[in-house]
Amino acid sequence: MEVKIIRKVLDVNDAIAHKNRNLFKEKGIFVINVMSSPGSGKTSILEKTLSHLVPEVSCAVIVGDISTTNDADRLAKQNAPVVQINTDGFGGDCHLTAHVIESALSSFDLDKIDLLIVENVGNLVCPAEFDIGEDKRVVILSVAEGEDKPVKYPLMFRVCDAALLNKIDLLPYLDYDKNAALENISKIHPDMPVFEVSAKTQEGFSKWIEWLKECIREKKKQGK
């Protein structure tokens, strides 16, 4: 019985995700779904990412949090339209659904957006199960977390298309085994690109930004 209910929820979600995806395709918008545990530096990464892309690339952001507009307030300083979703009003606290994304889209002029960034709720578990209509999924982990996160949360690393290893400026001060973390990622998802970055110093950002720009170019080509 319970299995059926869960399946139904995901079926409804997938139907709306499909609708979102068609709309993004029609408008030529490249969409990334950024996921991580709380505190890995998602918002900081996105602040710096926007500062590299705007105004050359027209960006918009949807930020999911259980409550507060703190992250949206920070991101709004980067000259891109930002919508904050507080999931406590949607009855789903710990992840974004396709329906929530759909309802946020009316806040944007979709004809003017090349890149839509979705900052999911900080959680390595259920956001991985909900398709929102995105093109690529990106997982962020930081060197302040355990090296074994990828093997503890395999679904997240399996469904993602790229990973960012953040806070590498802290490596000299930690006993973090970076190679073990990279090996754990490749155990779960061989050949997934991993960008080693620091949102603080912006080390490693050029490769990440280049990857994003290439994805945006590809999406534009497909639309034509």
Give residues in contact with Zn ion (CB under 5 A).
94-95, 126
Closest by Cα among 112, 66, 90 to 16? 90
Asked if 164 and 208 count as a contact pair (C-beta separation under 8 A), the reply is yes
42 binds, among Mg ion, Zn ion, none (CB under 5 to 8 A by kind): Mg ion
Name which position in 36, 43, 87, 120 contacts Mg ion (CB under 5 A): 43
Q: Which residues contact 179 (CB under 8 A, 6 or more apart)?
A: none
**Which runs of E-coded beta strand occur in 170-224?**
194-196
CA angle 98, 69, 141 (to 5 degrees): 65
The stretch among 68-76, 128-136, 140-148, 181-189 that binds Mg ion (CB under 5 A) is 68-76
17, 71, 137, 198: which one contacts Mg ion (CB under 5 A)?
71
Cα 29 from Cα 21, distance rounded (Å): 9
42 near Mg ion (CB under 5 A): yes
- Of the two residues 66 and 171, which places its CB atom closer to Zn ion in the complex? 66
43 binds, among Mg ion, Zn ion, none (CB under 5 to 8 A by kind): Mg ion
Instruction: Pick between residue 158 and residue 207 the one whose CB is nearest to Zn ion.
Output: 158
At its nearest, how many Å lie between Mg ion and the CB of residue 90? 17
Count, residues near Mg ion per rule CB under 5 A: 3
Using only C-alpha atoms, the chain has a radius of gyration, in whole angstroms, of 17
Query: Which residues are near Mg ion by CB under 5 A?
Result: 42-43, 71
